[in-house]
Amino acid sequence: MAGLSAATRVAAEGGTVVVVEKAERTGGSARFAGFVWTTPTVEEMRRVNPDGDPGLATALVDGFADGVAWIRSLGVECRPPVPVLGFGRGHQVDTNHYLDTCERLIRDRGQEVLTDTWTRALVTDDGAVKGAECVLPDGSVRRIEAAWTLLATGGFQGDPGLRAEHVHPRAAHIGLRANPHSRGDGLALGRSAGAAFGKKDAGFYGHLMPAGVSLADPARFVDLALYYSEHALLFDTTGERFVDETVGDHLTAMALLERPEARGLLVADARVHREWISASYVEGIPGVDKFQLCHRAGARSAVADSLEDFASMPEEWGYPGATIRDRVEEFNAAVRANATTAPGRLLDRRPLDEPPFYVVEAAPAITFTFGGLLIDTEARVRSAGGAGPVPGLLAAGADAGGLYRRAYAGGLAPALVFGLAAARTALAGAPTTAAR
Ligand SMILES: Cc1cc2nc3c(=O)[nH]c(=O)nc-3n(C[C@H](O)[C@H](O)[C@H](O)COP(=O)(O)OP(=O)(O)OC[C@H]3O[C@@H](n4cnc5c(N)ncnc54)[C@H](O)[C@@H]3O)c2cc1C
């Protein structure tokens, strides 16, 4: 998303670009995504993402409308705005149409898109990045000289070791809900040129998925995502709640990673099943019975006729069923009495008391990492030495860090907005090495 957006804008303005794509086909995770969205205001962004870089957050919100206008200018439909995740706003877009249109425009302008090609090193000269050395499908090496080099490899979620190092030791073992090629190549290349990494403990964007179910088929990334957790109760292996589930499934996914074994039991009742499990999650996407899909996919799941049945939960599941039964009853009593619950319950305080009860074992799965190469609002990569940007080096999309810290307000939009910012920087002329 970031790389093609940047390259298309440069090519459209008559510039020279080479897109280097490691996979057989361009498009990455953006091919699975459907909504270009973020918060409608800077204030809302600050509220949901208080620890993110305020400059980047403002640039994202301020640049969003131009990003949408850019997509439309290519003849790609952005549907009328709809609410997203309760606090955001965005447009449904056929991302495949957008990405294919970008690629076609680049080629039509006589510019190159190299697929099945990877970058083994950046070309540097006296601290400035001057291009890259790429390995072509036949194994030969091509040196590409460039005034500007944009790193847009989509983050490091595909590398278990980097996940363990930068996200959480248990993250090495979580499911990957994204394209398999984003394995931190941009991060390594950027750091080799002296780029700064941030922020520490930034977290990741992901969702709860049924534990232990293979995510090899990308159709499952959305079909099996347990977005409805915001209206359910989640218990860890000790039988306790540990997070306010209602503030967002993507936040709950981060919280579950920190619990023992990073797995938990998601409990819903018949009302939640009717109103959320089988209903549409976001306007424009038809609802499907996720519980059925998870069950059919082999998830550890059950339908209990009463809360009493929890006491006879199979031992091999490894949860104290009677404790969970008690906790559900205590939760119901508290919300009926309008009393506080621990943890809190901000957004949906209705009891879960309509049998039958739908139980699925959930685990976090990662879509992209929030930590990355620190950039400024023009997508220039900051140097680890702190003395301004690394000359000639840009980053955007999930390769860029600093925007979000343990919070999320869109993945396509930052890739688009900072991809276009990178194009703007490149079109403005060659870097000045004095900036360093
Ligand atoms: C199922 C799913 C649904 C999603 N839904 C939404 C949504 O509705 N709204 C939203 O805002 N976000 C959504 N996202 C997130 C969104 O797709 C990403 O945030 C966005 O695509 C990030 O853009 P990017 O350019 O950084 O990475 P990508 O779009 O993933 O592109 C990275 C590209 O880099 C390539 N690459 C990796 N390493 C190299 C290398 N060494 N050399 C060359 N190329 C390399 C990859 O193959 C890939 O093509 C979704 C993601 C998934 C998986």
Distance CA 357, CA 99 (A): 42
Which of 177-186, 196-205, 280-289 has the least mean pLDDT? 280-289
| CATH code for the domain of 287 | 3.90.700.10
Query: Is residue 196 within 8 Å of residue 375, measured between CB atoms?
Result: no
171 and 225: one domain?
no
Residue 368 Cβ contacting ligand 1 at under 6 Å: yes
DSSP string, 180-248: TT-SSHHHHHHHHTTB-EE-TT--EEEEEEETT----STHHHHHT--GGGGGSEEE-TTS---S-GGG-
Among residues 306, 330, 365, the one where a domain terminates is: 365
113 and 30: one domain?
yes
Taking the CA of residue 368 as reference, the ligand 1 atom at the shortest distance is 19
Among residues 333, 365, 397, the one where a domain terminates is: 365
pLDDT (0 to 100) of residue 385: 87
In this predicted structure, the answer to whether residue 147 has a pLDDT above a threshold of 90 is: yes
Taking the CA of residue 367 as reference, the ligand 1 atom at the shortest distance is 53
φ and ψ of 279, to 5 deg: -100, 175
44 and 30: one domain?
yes
In this predicted structure, the answer to whether residue 284 has a pLDDT above a threshold of 90 is: no
Question: DSSP letter at 315?
Answer: G
What is the distance of C-alpha 154 from the center of its chain? 10
39 and 136: one domain?
yes
Rounded mean pLDDT, 149-167: 98
Burial of 353 (0-12, 13-18, 19+ CB in 10 A): middle
In this predicted structure, the answer to whether residue 108 has a pLDDT above a threshold of 60 is: yes
pLDDT (0 to 100) of residue 286: 78
Q: Whose C-alpha lies nearest to ligand 1, atom 6?
A: 33
Taking the CA of residue 37 as reference, the ligand 1 atom at the shortest distance is 11
In this predicted structure, the answer to whether residue 436 has a pLDDT above a threshold of 50 is: no
Q: Is the dihedral of CA 385, 387, 391, 397 positive or negative?
A: positive
Q: How far is the CA of 367 from the centre of ligand 1 (A)?
A: 8
In this predicted structure, the answer to whether residue 169 has a pLDDT above a threshold of 90 is: yes
pLDDT (0 to 100) of residue 387: 77
412 and 356: one domain?
no
Rounded mean pLDDT, 7-28: 98
Residues contacting 69, CB < 8 A, separation 6+: none
Which of 98-107, 130-139, 204-213, 287-296 has the least mean pLDDT? 287-296
128 and 238: one domain?
no
Rounded mean pLDDT, 104-108: 98
Is pTM beyond 0.95? Reply is yes
| CATH code for the domain of 392 | 3.50.50.60
Distance CA 297, CA 175 (A): 15
Residue 30 Cβ contacting ligand 1 at under 6 Å: yes
Which of 227, 412, 418 for mutating ligand 1's site (highest number of atoms within 8 Å of CB)? 412
Which of 87, 150, 153 for mutating ligand 1's site (highest number of atoms within 8 Å of CB)? 153
Among residues 365, 389, 404, the one where a domain terminates is: 365
Residue 178 Cβ contacting ligand 1 at under 6 Å: yes
Residue 118 Cβ contacting ligand 1 at under 6 Å: yes
Residue 310 Cβ contacting ligand 1 at under 6 Å: no
Number of structural domains in the chain: 2
Question: DSSP letter at 12?
Answer: H
In this predicted structure, the answer to whether residue 285 has a pLDDT above a threshold of 80 is: no
**Helix, strand or coil for residue 126?**
coil
Q: What percent of the chain has pLDDT over 70?
A: 99
Which of 145-149, 241-245, 326-330, 431-435 has the least mean pLDDT? 431-435
360 and 392: one domain?
no
Domain extent at residue 231: 207-365
Q: How far is the CA of 384 from the centre of ligand 1 (A)?
A: 25
281 and 414: one domain?
no
pLDDT (0 to 100) of residue 279: 86
In this predicted structure, the answer to whether residue 434 has a pLDDT above a threshold of 60 is: no
Burial of 200 (0-12, 13-18, 19+ CB in 10 A): exposed
Q: How far is the CA of 255 from the centre of ligand 1 (A)?
A: 23
What are the distances in angstroms from CA 432 to CA 9, 81, 122?
22, 40, 18
161 and 41: one domain?
yes
pLDDT (0 to 100) of residue 433: 60
Rounded mean pLDDT, 373-383: 98
Residues contacting 99, CB < 8 A, separation 6+: 1, 4, 26, 27, 30, 31
121 and 231: one domain?
no
Taking the CA of residue 153 as reference, the ligand 1 atom at the shortest distance is 34
Query: Is residue 384 within 8 Å of residue 393, measured between CB atoms?
Result: no
265 and 291: one domain?
yes
Rounded mean pLDDT, 285-298: 92
114 and 219: one domain?
no
Query: Is residue 416 within 8 Å of residue 229, measured between CB atoms?
Result: no
Q: How far is the CA of 156 from the centre of ligand 1 (A)?
A: 11
Per-residue pLDDT tens digits for 37-66: 999 999 999 999 999 999 999 999 999 999
DSSP string, 260-310: GGG-EEEEE-HHHIIIIISS-SSTTS----HHHHHHHTT-SEEEESSGGGG
In this predicted structure, the answer to whether residue 435 has a pLDDT above a threshold of 70 is: no
Residue 367 Cβ contacting ligand 1 at under 6 Å: yes
Per-residue pLDDT tens digits for 292-350: 999 999 999 999 999 999 999 999 999 999 999 999 999 999 999 999 999 999 999 99
Q: How far is the CA of 294 from the centre of ligand 1 (A)?
A: 25
In this predicted structure, the answer to whether residue 353 has a pLDDT above a threshold of 60 is: yes
Query: Is residue 331 within 8 Å of residue 245, measured between CB atoms?
Result: no
Residue 412 Cβ contacting ligand 1 at under 6 Å: yes
Residues contacting 110, CB < 8 A, separation 6+: none
Give 59's strand partners.
none
